[in-house]
Amino acid sequence: MTADQDEYDRYGRVIGGEPEPIMDAAEAAYVALAADDPLLMAADHALRRDLSRRIRDDLVQLGIVAAGPAVRIADGAQASPGDLIICTRNDHTVQAGEPGRTLANGDLLRIEAVTRSGLIVRRALDADSRTGQRRWTDRTFVYANYADAELDYAVTDHAAQRRTVHTGLAVITGTEDRQHVYVALTRGTDANLAYMFTVSPKQADPAPGPRPAPELARYDQISSERAGVRALDTRPAPPGTALAVLADVLDRDGQERSATQTGNQALADADHLAILTQSGPPTRPRPATSGTETC
């Protein structure tokens, strides 16, 4: 265990459990910290989309995002006034809230209204250097080609590299590498929390045959909570399990080597005792003969 891992464990910044409860915990933390502009990260696009959808559902229930009117955006997701979406295509015909600044792939937008001509949005600016709070363009503009836009409550580590926020929240499945974790756990200036899958989604329910989708149980739980019935506490992961998963991820190097580095490593391995032991002593080729051996 490294000093950084020990510190995360000491201050309760590594939370572990099965996939569904862990995603719910990360979602709840994001919603609770929404006013402080937290950053929720996942390495996988499918997981990022799922987290964004879950968060939007909660924000609608809390009245932070309007239930309607809504439009359909990428992957069949819904978006309405108050939602945060990300532009996924350049559009040089749209003035994005500032003179001379056109709409670009990766622009974060906040929906102000839904109209027949398109979405009325504001574009996110760099965070305030003093408070760290997100800023928006004073001018709104019409975003008509929104069909390819995506909800942006959770982002990938690639998109998070250029951001610094008050609190960073990282959902880690155990399949990532140390490069992802270093990015995900260094975005927050005040706090960084790791939400670890201690069981892979495939192992969470190993029983063969058809079984209810996990979303059904989650729907029942959420419905009960919104009706005022306290849900049962989620069973935590055994002590040290989440930290062990984090240690395994930190030991995994996902950086690709250059051709020169690969060649140098091959030369270094050529006389390595472990390699020689596994492969056995080198064999010397026998000289070719013409069919008659001489003594």
* Average of per-residue pLDDT values in the chain: 80
Q: What is the pTM of this model?
A: 0.73
Q: Cα–Cα distance between 95 and 138 in angstroms, integer?
A: 13
**pLDDT reported for residue 265:** 57
For 62, other C-beta atoms within 10 Å of its C-beta total 10
Judged against a pLDDT cut of 80, whether residue 73 lies above it is answered with yes
Judged against a pLDDT cut of 60, whether residue 227 lies above it is answered with no
Return the percentage of the chain with pLDDT > 90, whole number.
49
Residue with tokens 């499918």: 46
pLDDT tens for residues 150-176?
A: 999 999 988 888 788 889 999 999 999
Judged against a pLDDT cut of 50, whether residue 277 lies above it is answered with no
Judged against a pLDDT cut of 90, whether residue 256 lies above it is answered with no
Token readout for 199 is 């069981």
How remote is the C-alpha of 83 from its chain's centroid?
19
pLDDT band for position 262 (50/70/90)? low
Judged against a pLDDT cut of 60, whether residue 134 lies above it is answered with yes
Judged against a pLDDT cut of 60, whether residue 192 lies above it is answered with yes
pLDDT band for position 50 (50/70/90)? very high
Cis peptide bond N-terminal to 69, omega within 30: yes
How remote is the C-alpha of 24 from its chain's centroid?
14
**pLDDT reported for residue 36:** 83
| Torsion of Cα atoms, 243 then 248 then 250 then 251, to 10° | 140
Domains and CATH numbers, the chain: 1-44+156-203+213-254 (no CATH), 61-152 (2.30.30)
Judged against a pLDDT cut of 90, whether residue 215 lies above it is answered with no
pLDDT band for position 133 (50/70/90)? confident
- The one-letter amino acid code at 233 reads D
Judged against a pLDDT cut of 60, whether residue 105 lies above it is answered with yes
Judged against a pLDDT cut of 70, whether residue 208 lies above it is answered with no
**pLDDT reported for residue 232:** 47
Helix (H), strand (E), coil (C) string for the chain: CCHHHHHHHHCCCEEEECHHHHHHHHHHHHHHCHHHCCEEEECCHHHHHHHHHHHHHHHHHCCCCCCCCCEECHHHCEECCCCEEECCCCEEEEEEEECCEEECCCCEEEEEEEECCEEEEEEEECCCCCCCCCEECCCCEEECCCCCCEECCEECHHHHCCCCEEEEEEEECCCCCHHHHHHHCCCEEEEEEEEEECCCCCCCCCCCCCCCCHHHHHHHHHHHHHCCCCCCCCCCCCCCHHHHHHHHHHCCCCCCCCHHHHHHHHHHHHCCHHHHHHHCCCCCCCCCCCCCCCC
Judged against a pLDDT cut of 80, whether residue 275 lies above it is answered with no
pLDDT band for position 190 (50/70/90)? confident
